[in-house]
Chain A
Amino acid sequence: MNTEILAAHGIDYEAGVARFRGNEALYEKLLSMVLKDTTFPRMREAYDAQDDAELFEGAHELKGVSGNAALNKLYEADCRLVEYLRTGAGDRQKTDALFSAVEAAYDNAVEGIRLALGL
């Protein structure tokens, strides 16, 4: 596992492994599950449909998932989106900007996982 690649993509390997009592294989399995997780694709659908309530639900879920999986950059970007949507959103440009940041962080994390796992 190339932890430098993960770090460059905003993923804290050490913190992630610590959640599994040092079991690297389990954390690597968790990382591979990120690639199949449907949370962000659901968020993208909600965003395209301009459904802020559904987008908020997805962003809330992604906050838990990305935090637990130590996808730190994605977690930080998603927290901003959650906080904005929680207060009622309303400004489409702001939603666009925050969602784009989450999307970029998600794509970056997925790329890092693929590279690190050799997929």
Chain B
Amino acid sequence: MTCGISAIGDVCKSQCETRGLAFETRFETDVDEWLTGDQHRVEQILMNLLGNAVKFTEEGFVRLSLSQREAGSDKVFLRFEVSDSGCGMSKQMQQRLFKPFEQENVASAQKYGGNGLGLSIVSSLVNMMGGSIRVESVEGTGSIFTVNLPFNRSGAQIDLPDLQNVGPLHALIVDNDATEREYLSTVLDHIGVRNEQTANGADALLALARAERENDSFNICFVDWRMPGMDGIETTRRIRELCREDMIVIIVSAYDHYQANESARAAGANLYITKPVIQSSLYDLFAAMVGERFEEKTEAQPSFDFSGRRALIAEDNAMNRMVMQSIVESLGLACDMAEDGQIALDRFTASKPGDYDIVLMDIQMPNMDGLEATRRIRASAHSDARSIPVIAVTANAFNEDIAKSLSAGMNAHVSKPIDKKILAAAMEKAFKEMHA
């Protein structure tokens, strides 16, 4: 769930950036990573509400907030709140808002376009899912749409190995926003990382010095980019002056800018990540960083052996095909190559059941791209159409690309340049899910 929300947020963030608006995704409580529900409808609802928020806001912000309420042992309600500082709407309009073809007035329809159907559809979708929707709005100030939707807890949970076996982690969260601090703290608790919080850079330096004196040093700091007084960059510089070189400093920001990333690194940060920080990506991050730093303490890398399996690889670039084939064969699989999506689709549909165990799919290809090829594979009459794992292999690792891959029916996404271990882990996970 959090991955999906993060991807939707990224799409909206880019629309906001184009219009000069601030965008924020905010997790107000911890949210289960895995929930059972209709993801497609959730995406439709949110994309519609967020699209409207961007459309009707000329300056200021758009925000997506998310919180989870328990509703019994196997059920939860998620509350999505889309707020903006846009033009708002009259009381009369609020009352007829969810009826088809309703718009504020002719001038508004001419200015902003649209057919007035969007919110009527949103309302229907919410009702179909057994949820509720309401709006609060003040003309000239902005609007808040609140949607509550029920979900079942999924039996599937991420199988996280214990991070503690590679070394003790002690994290300091530095953020002036108490909600953000609490959220990150809960996420860290879940993955077994001991953590403390401070509300500003000066207190962070004091906490770091105290921990050092007490022989209980921190080894990771999460520093918010934008804080009043000492900002994230300055705080990072001071941490670097104060602490050992192996302190990991991660700057966390709601803004995804290349320049910001550069400033963060110039100040001495190891990483620059964007909010919302989600549990699985944070875990991956730690596993990678800790694995690297405590390499001598880790056990031997798991060896993957997929002997006896066969992969269908769709890749249009000859050099990339060569590299893919070498890596995939080194993992024990036999390979068939396809030079574009159409050829991959033809090979798959002409194959006998069980001929292929997995498809590795480039996205950007001539004739038919990987997204379309995957959709057609999934929709085909082949007996393996729904079950065969399809992994996207592409140079684009941006969240919207990952979201597009997943919504086309792919199981996972691996970035180029191909890392053998990452590809192997993705394949193993896909095989496990297929047999589950």
Binding site for B on A (CB under 8 A): 19-21, 23, 26, 29-30, 33-34, 37, 39, 57, 60-61, 63-65, 67-70, 75, 80, 82-84, 86-88
Interface centre among B317, B327, B395 (most CB of A within 10 A): B395
Decide yes or no whether B436 CB sits under 8 A from chain A: no
Q: Please, how many angstroms separate the alpha-carbon atoms of A64 and B395 in the complex?
A: 5
Residues of A within 8 A of B326 (CB): 19-21, 23, 26
Known contacts A26-B322, A30-B323: does B395 contact A21 (CB below 8 Å)? Answer: no
- In the complex, are the beta carbons of B395 and A83 less than 8 A apart? no
Contact between A33 and B417, CB atoms less than 8 A apart: no
Q: Is the CB–CB distance between A21 and B319 below 8 Å?
A: no
Structural contact, A30 and B322, CB atoms closer than 8 A:
yes
Give every chain A residue within 8 A of B44 (Cβ-Cβ).
none
| In-complex Cβ contact of B416 among A26, A30, A68 (8 A) | A68
B143 adjacent to chain A (CB < 8 Å): no
Q: Contact check, A64 vs B416: say whether CB atoms are below 8 A apart.
A: yes
Q: Mark B300-337, 1 if CB is under 8 A from A, else 0.
A: 00000000000000000111101100110010000000
B23 → chain A closest CB, angstroms: 13
Residues of A within 8 A of B416 (CB): 63-64, 67-68
> Would B317 and A39 count as touching, CB distance under 8 A?
yes
Is there a chain A Cβ closer than 8 Å to B14's Cβ?
Answer: yes
Q: Give 6 closest A-B pairs by Cβ, nearest first.
A: A67-B417, A64-B395, A64-B416, A63-B395, A68-B323, A68-B417
Chain B contacts of A83 at CB under 8 A?
258
Contact B322 A33 (CB under 8 A): yes
Complexed CA–CA distance, A20 and B321 (Å): 12
A60's partner among B258, B330, B364 (CB-CB below 8 A) is B364
- Contact A87/B17 with A39-B317, A64-B395, A68-B416 known, Cβ cut-off 8 Å: yes
In the bound assembly, the distance between CA atoms of A39 and B395 in angstroms comes to 14
Q: How far is the CB of B326 from chain A (nearest CB, A)?
A: 5
Contact B319 A69 (CB under 8 A): yes
Question: How many whole Å from B264's CB to the nearest CB in chain A?
Answer: 15
B323 partner residues in chain A, CB cutoff 8 A? 19-20, 30, 68-69
Which residue from chain B places its CB closest to the CB of A58 in the assembled complex? B364
Q: What residues of A have a CB within 8 angstroms of the CB of B92 in the complex?
A: none
Compute how far the CA of A83 lies from the CA of B261 in the bound complex, rounded to whole angstroms.
12
Q: Are A64 and B14 in contact (CB under 8 A)?
A: no
Given contacts A21-B330, A67-B416, A84-B258, contact A37 B398 (CB under 8 A): no
A60 CB contacts on chain B under 8 angstroms: 364, 395-396
CB of B396 within 8 A of CB of A68, answer: no
Known A-B contacts A20-B326, A88-B18; the reply to A61 vs B319 at CB < 8 A is no
Contacts of A23 in B (CB 8 A): 326
- The 8 Å CB contact of A80, one of B18, B258, B318, B394, is B258
Chain B residues with CB under 8 A of A70: 417
Q: Is the CB of A86 within 8 A of B398?
A: yes
> Which residues on the A side are within 8 Å of B327 (C-beta)?
19
Residue of B nearest to A67 (CB): B417
Q: Does B418 contact A (CB under 8 A)?
A: yes
Q: Which of B398-423 contact A (CB under 8 A)?
A: 398, 416-418, 420
Known interface pairs A64-B394, A68-B418, A83-B258; 8 further A-B residue pairs with C-beta atoms within 8 A, sorted by A's residue number: A19-B323, A23-B326, A30-B322, A64-B320, A68-B320, A68-B323, A82-B395, A84-B258
Residues of B within 8 A of A21 (CB): 326, 330
Write the nearest CB–CB distance from B348 to chain A, whole angstroms: 22
Question: Would you call B258 and A33 a contact (CB within 8 A)?
Answer: no
Separation of A19 and B258 alpha carbons in the complex (Å) = 29
- With beta carbons under 8 angstroms apart, the residue of B14, B320, B394, B398 that contacts A65 is B320
- Nearest opposing residue in chain B for A20, CB measure: B326
20 A-B pairs with C-beta separation under 8 A? A19-B327, A20-B323, A20-B326, A21-B330, A26-B322, A30-B323, A33-B322, A37-B319, A60-B396, A63-B396, A64-B320, A64-B394, A64-B395, A64-B417, A67-B395, A67-B417, A68-B417, A82-B395, A86-B398, A88-B18
Closest B residue to A62 by beta carbon equals B395
Q: Determine which residue in A20, A60, A63, A68 has the highest number of CB atoms from chain B within 10 A of its CB, and name it.
A: A68
Distance (whole angstroms) from the CB of A38 to the closest CB of chain B: 9
Query: Could you tell me the distance between the alpha carbons of A19 and B417 in the complex, rounded to whole angstroms?
Result: 10
Residues of A within 8 A of B319 (CB): 30, 33-34, 37, 65, 68-69
Instruction: Compute how far the CA of A88 lies from the CA of B257 in the bound complex, rounded to whole angstroms.
Output: 13
How far does the alpha carbon of A33 sit from the alpha carbon of B319 in the complex, in Å? 7
